A = this chain, B = another copy of it.
């Protein structure tokens, strides 16, 4: 399949925020050309972008996709109660088929928000991978081993098998969180990470309660504890990173760790506001995640982007904090790098064709004083005209081009929730 997109404003993200007027071609799953000419290619399809923006797809750097089943199911509750009394009992009823359909539902929503890859930490990983492959969507699975399930031995096997499975699927070492995982299990995982020289990702310092509990248990913050057992020797990062000490920040700098921020979830569960401005000053790379739909409740990178900058501005009382260019980098390039997707970070010849078309011919994108600021401060799902993953258009003009109709996927997910509620 060869596709030509012309008459476009192209933001490659290879060199900061620079817009290039021209065209972009894809061949198979890669970008084959970016420039001013049509070239001599015969194309299967030619798309007039009508002056719209073509840019790298957003990378959702932390989520639990299949938690769509808990959307608006238990809101207005603090994290610990929400997790232990509502989420865990329902999750016990999940099986691979259920996770498959619930993930399919979440992937549809990613496409509407211009998200072309997710960093998915959830159970029933075979089902997650199938859901992504069947949707044509790119997923990086993060293991979520903890005291309630999973072994390090299996994680190593999964690491090898999932990374060899399909070009759309990759796999990272990970565990749920310090407060759900024994020190023995963490040490075993750290040994694997060191033996294979691999990064590890984990929920880290999401709530004040979590950090205080860890200090009580170990006399150290979660970051200090993990560093003390060598968990972060080969990189990785923390999801949330709301309550980080100066020493934690030093460790993140030293180890080159990613802070993956999830602002909507942190508001909704009253967890706090992550000190993103501080991370930027310290050159800690920041990526953005939606977290799962149970705690957000949507999967919308536009809302997250506005929150990242807005919350920094208000929490530091500095309206200059965390500008639009920084936020766009977090939502695209940094997300890809955190997820190990080195060929999905920018638009360049030879990179994967994971890209989106943003409709600038909408009232919220006018006038065109500053396109990058328009996207970050005023953008919305309604501006996503097209979402392409690996050279395949999966969403365009409000229509989905994936196996099974959205109506069928909605029906399946509603049936699953009804069955789970009755069990």
**A residues lining the B interface (CB < 8 Å):** 68-73, 75-79, 82, 105-106, 108-109, 112, 264, 266-273, 293, 296-300, 302-303, 306-307, 309-311, 313-314, 316-321, 323-324, 361-364, 366-371, 373-374, 377-382, 384, 398, 406-407, 409-410, 413-414, 417
Contacts and interface: CB of A to CB of B under 8 A. Distances in A.
Contact of A299 (B269, B364, B398): B364
Contacts of A321: 76, 270
Contacts of A364: 109, 112, 298-300, 381
A270 B368 contact: no
A264 B310 contact: yes
A413 to B, nearest CB: 5
A221 to B, nearest CB: 20
Contacts of A266: 314
A75 B323 contact: yes
A104 to B, nearest CB: 9
A421 to B, nearest CB: 9
A367 B313 contact: no
Given A112-B364, A366-B410, 5 more contacts: A268-B319, A298-B364, A363-B410, A367-B410, A367-B413
A301 to B, nearest CB: 11
A410 B360 CA distance: 10
B382 A112 contact: yes
A201 B238 CA distance: 46
A366 B105 contact: yes
B382 A314 contact: no
Contact of A378 (B71, B319, B323, B371): B71
Contacts of A105: 363, 366-367
A393 B162 CA distance: 51
Contacts of A77: 319-320
A314 B207 CA distance: 11
A414 B366 contact: yes
A366 B413 contact: yes
Contact of A363 (B302, B309, B384, B406): B406
A297 B373 contact: yes
B112 A361 contact: no
A71 B361 contact: no
7 contacts: A72-B370, A72-B374, A73-B370, A268-B377, A269-B313, A270-B321, A271-B314
